[in-house]
Structure 1
């Protein structure tokens, strides 16, 4: 720990942290409409963007950055993370231009402290919006979750989490329908958003109607294409007996075999009536589907991951996948490809997306994988602008923090990426980072390289 803190101290920006920074002759990307404002002068002061324009600005004692030929975009948000180890994760996030995260399960006390320390400049890190503990059924998937068996317990869970001042409530897979609906009603009553998994015993349409703010991993979405959805949900709720569906491989095969695009389109039109967002985490769906593929198991970015996570990504050592067979992974791949094929139809129907990775799940690399997610959105049919919006403007709108985040505009926080190439021409250019600005503090190429080197060194064994 001491070694890492020393390395982080040594890796602070090579540019002086003056109160004012001026970026001259830069191309500003307007993520609202895809326009490029060329040859702008952008002034940063006291953590915020103070002005943008073509007028000349006196430098005086300011740090001046030549932005000629470069592109300025908002800092990126990863809207589904589990940041259990900030010492190992934060440097990777900053180096990749991730200036904000939505943490989906963790100690709210620790996360609040990390937020304060980042805000005060004591320890570099992204802005955090956090759920605290997961709310799950009576036998939760993950230790540390709030176990709920009845609607009354669900209401008390909401009360306790509101008292902890969480930003939102995360619901999970094993909640029964009655408890879930009680949580939804109480969350609405107490004016706090709830998001997370669509529980196994609830349809995505029921979740949207109940007010679920976002649905993760596209759980419940492919089921909307089942002509036999009523039967499938009856089995989920225990009202129908089907021993074949008790088997994971059979269940995955059933969903893929019985999917109808015509049926899906009809239900999609209904889903689009609700203000429920999708955080599809395509990168984790891909990582799980291919976690037995050498293309992934030999990823050079493994050098940035702690040995504990590298070991966990071995299917034989993960309780969720240790009994998986080659056919299981074949089914996962078909499921992943199906989800990819639904992104554009959903977007065209008016469903709104936010980008998330679900690190540190298999082959989800803190920081790096958010760029992979943007690439997968484009591969699925979105334009580079639409993809970029999922990690910039959309998170700000989703969390109702558009006043401070989401675009390069005067008055907003100076959380920014300066890129060497235009991301609207090719989304891969979000990876070509020249500088990162974290609440106005400058991380140049040397500082970024030092951050990455510090983590490689820490995880060398």
Structure 2
């Protein structure tokens, strides 16, 4: 080869390299899961720059146009957007702060890149974690939080803002604005029904999304019309299916019936046509529902599985495990008839999942995992939740949407999350199997990419090992 020809070839090569755009990571030979359209796009590559997706396209084109500092060969595996758990809790008191914070890596190890904290009794600490994660000072999924929830006076739940008047509610909303919370959580332990509705209207007027439990003395429609953005726990949405829901709410509010009697009447009065009309109304108002089905299933069937031999307990601190006891003890007091009723009620409520979907309601995957909620585990619980959605009638694609797109949609963040597209967040999960065929494929995690940083299977296993080691050390200390 002449020197002239060699120089020319070198010049061509240098020109080609210089023409390439720099990327931090390129995922090659990937099958991209288009979750929105429930389809697979084969032979793709994804270029990541910082915490954003810089390009997605045919593998050969991306390889030609992008120069990567790191290349991941997906080997035709399946790339999905990062998973979102839209209902988690941290709490149990100040002595449990360390055990709660240790749960954060469990979410990442299970492909969950964003969580929505629905309030516990450590609201200040959780807001501190939110800031530390955003700054890169603490490892964990992106954390969105309600801060302290709005409640009535002397509520069952700790860590709340207690309100007994409209001025209290106004002050609570102002405090939450100062705390820069991501949404407002309102619950029904002791909050008066009129103040519940007032809190919804004031939070909406302040520009907040709202989430909550609906008091028995308030109908679902009243809560929605006041400004409720998401219904937490499927049982509250179920109530809208009773023909005489308004009469039941009025009787309960007046003290004429107990909660147990109200539930009996709601069950007897449930009617599919009434429910579908109510659910279509929810959809028209843009109200989402977070079923938290797995937690309900666990409690309903504790008589069949006491979970004491769950391998996952190795990741849960001993003090957190002790918070499980109160629900377990309460369930153990039921007699055979009550246990059967518990099973039946769970199944009746769970059967409304496909009805909500058919009515056009957006279903959000959320676990209710955390302290108090027995054996409902941070991380793996989300995979159990979406599997239940399919078991109860959703398609794998619909269940996957509930855990990847519904959360961003609720927060108005679909321009940044929820799909594998140029400009979206570099929060991705590479799976060994196709989740559109079998939703349990979400468990087959090969790699998690969180804010542009890749964690392969070995790194994820180290996160799990670190969690086990921490719990083992806490157990040893408790036993000494």
TM value normalised by structure 2: 0.86
Answering whether residue 41 of structure 2 is matched by residue 37 of structure 1, we say yes
CA contact (8 A) 2:327 2:374 kept: no
Partner deviation per Cα, 1:17-63 (whole Å, 9 max, x = no partner): x9711111101111110121111111111111111111024675611
CA contact (8 A) 1:71 1:421 kept: yes
Other structure's SS at 2:448 match: strand
- Runs of 5+ unmatched residues, structure 1: 1-17
Partner deviation per Cα, 1:280-321 (whole Å, 9 max, x = no partner): 111111122123432634322222212223333234776x65
Partner deviation per Cα, 1:329-357 (whole Å, 9 max, x = no partner): 43332222112111111110111111100
- Which range moved further: 259-268 or 69-78? 259-268
Selected match of 2:75 from 68, 72, 75:
68
Match of 1:133 in 2: 148
CA contact (8 A) 2:288 2:362 kept: yes
Match of 1:403 in 2: 415
What are the equivalent positions in structure 2 for 1:43-54 lying under 5 Å apart? Answer: 43-54=47-58
Match of 1:169 in 2: 184
Match of 1:267 in 2: 278
- The offset of 1:396, in angstroms, is 0.8
Distance in 2 of aligned mates of 1:328 and 1:315: 18
What are the equivalent positions in structure 2 for 1:315-334 lying under 5 Å apart? Answer: 315=326, 324-334=334-344
Q: How many residues align?
A: 438
- The offset of 1:441, in angstroms, is 0.8
Selected match of 1:81 from 84, 88, 92:
88
- The offset of 1:186, in angstroms, is 1.3
Other structure's SS at 2:101 match: helix
CA contact (8 A) 2:234 2:350 kept: no
Match of 2:31 in 1: 27
Distance in 1 of aligned mates of 2:68 and 2:134: 24
- The offset of 1:322, in angstroms, is 7.2
- Which range moved further: 321-330 or 111-120? 321-330
Distance in 2 of aligned mates of 1:120 and 1:269: 41
Answering whether residue 210 of structure 2 is matched by residue 225 of structure 1, we say no
CA contact (8 A) 1:316 1:323 kept: no
CA contact (8 A) 1:150 1:178 kept: no
CA contact (8 A) 1:291 1:315 kept: no
Partner deviation per Cα, 1:143-171 (whole Å, 9 max, x = no partner): 22112222332222112211221111101
- Which range moved further: 117-126 or 87-96? 117-126
Selected match of 1:237 from 240, 253, 256:
253
What are the equivalent positions in structure 2 for 1:46-195 lying under 5 Å apart? Answer: 46-54=50-58, 55=61, 56-57=63-64, 62-84=69-91, 85-106=99-120, 107-174=122-189, 175-195=191-211
CA contact (8 A) 2:280 2:361 kept: no
Q: Could you say if the C-alpha distance between residues 186 and 60 of structure 1 is closer, same or farther in structure 2, counting changes exceeding 3 Å?
A: closer
**Is the helix fraction higher in 1 or 2?**
2
CA contact (8 A) 2:107 2:379 kept: yes
Q: Which structure has the larger Rg?
A: 2
Answering whether residue 440 of structure 2 is matched by residue 433 of structure 1, we say no
- The offset of 1:117, in angstroms, is 2.7
- The offset of 1:267, in angstroms, is 3.0
- The offset of 1:111, in angstroms, is 2.9
- Which range moved further: 374-383 or 187-196? 187-196
TM value normalised by structure 1: 0.89
Match of 2:358 in 1: 348
Match of 1:457 in 2: 469
CA contact (8 A) 2:252 2:262 kept: no
User: Which structure would you say has the larger RCO, counting Cα contacts within 8 Å and 6 or more residues apart?
Assistant: 1
Match of 1:5 in 2: none
- The offset of 1:197, in angstroms, is 1.0
Other structure's SS at 1:293 match: coil
CA contact (8 A) 2:148 2:159 kept: yes
Answering whether residue 309 of structure 2 is matched by residue 294 of structure 1, we say no
Other structure's SS at 1:390 match: helix
Other structure's SS at 2:38 match: coil
Selected match of 1:306 from 305, 314, 317:
317
Q: Could you say if the C-alpha distance between residues 290 and 159 of structure 1 is closer, same or farther in structure 2, counting changes exceeding 3 Å?
A: same
Q: Which runs of 4+ in 1 moved over 6 A?
A: none
CA contact (8 A) 2:127 2:147 kept: no
- The offset of 1:453, in angstroms, is 1.3
CA contact (8 A) 2:151 2:187 kept: yes
CA contact (8 A) 1:81 1:101 kept: yes
Q: Could you say if the C-alpha distance between residues 315 and 414 of structure 1 is closer, same or farther in structure 2, counting changes exceeding 3 Å?
A: same
Distance in 2 of aligned mates of 1:68 and 1:408: 17
